[in-house]
Amino acid sequence: MRHALSWAASAMFITTPNPRVGCVLVRDGQLLGAGCTQPAGQAHAEVQAMADARQRGHAVRGATAYVTLEPCSHFGRTPPCADALVAAGIARVVVAVRDPNPLVAGQGMQRLRAAGIDVTEDVLAGPARELNIGFFSRMQRHRPWLRMKAAASLDGKTALHDGRSQWITSPQARDDGHWWRARACAVITGIGTVREDDPQMNVRAVETPRQPRRIVIDSRLEIDLNAKILQGGGTWIVAAQADADKAARLRDAGNEVLLLPNAAGKVDLPALMLELGQRGINELHAEAGFKLNGSLIREQCADELLLYLAPSVIGDAQGLFDLAAPPSLEQVHRLSWHEVSHVGPDLRVLARFQY
């Protein structure tokens, strides 16, 4: 199963909106074939593994399949993988974790058992779920998993008061941040960051076969039509106030404008999360300023903080989040540690919000 998980991880950047799945076929201690889910509309991991076995000259009848996610039982862009395993004569299937998709949700394993296949569940379920934390979020909560990335000094400062922030952290940390961008379905930022930094918000430091969707929160539709984040089209601009002429010019350039106002005349962030879930966004990567960061926390949209801490102290400067002080320590925004590791000279902290 660990080998199957490594195959699933190799599909990190290609499967969206589908989950990352790996499959390994074994008989009598011999590896027959292995594979991972291909881009949407192409073969799933089980079919890939069987094709790999055939190319190696191995028959798969009587083999054991180790699969990191329950084989699908429904017709989507491809036929059901559970049926393919049955037709191939697989004798045993070991599954890491049950598919949260309500179209599957145990039905794949029922189909396998009904065909006389021995099925074992919950083998390394935790790591398998982590690989697809965004897919689980979208299936179970109807919204993406939002990972908020920030870089700061040890005293929690992200930029000088004039906005200068290049560079607080090391090149290694910045490259690592691009890896997290690449695994996301979409990258989101705010109009303040676009105005101040004019970022591209694409993946450049690591190789990836596809770029994540770019999203800008821009309540009053103030974005410059020449902003780098609009280059190439395909950017989603989320506004709260209509500007028909500006919206038409943005659409003519290949972008999309979404109107999602809340009662305060700002973008309705929780409604946006549900909209993105409907659009197949599994993992959402936020790289924004302290104002949007604070709003995402206040609206309970942020799930995880990806924080790079540099071994430096800046002093009086911009902080991480625009949040009012709570009336008591019992009402602070709490997180739980998930992972802490070194990246070059910096620390990478993954912490999860506890709402």
Instruction: Tell me the C-alpha distance between 321 and 302, whole Å.
Output: 12
DSSP-derived secondary structure for 60-90 = -TT-EEEESSPPP-S-SSS--HHHHHHHTT-
Burial group, residue 78, by CB count within 10 angstroms (0-12, 13-18, 19+):
middle
DSSP element (H, E) containing 343:
strand 334-343
Task: Select which of 46, 70, 283, 287 is catalytic.
Answer: 46
Compute the C-alpha angle 71/72/73, nearest 5°: 120
Tokens representing residue 120 in the block = 């074992």
Rounded CA separation 184/37 (Å): 16
The SS3 of residue 141 is: helix
Residues in the chain: 355
State whether residue 175 is helix, strand or coil: helix
Catalytic site includes residue 46: yes
Is-contact 231 214, C-beta < 8 A? no
Distance separating the N- and C-terminal Cα atoms of the chain: 33
- As annotated, the active-site residues are 46
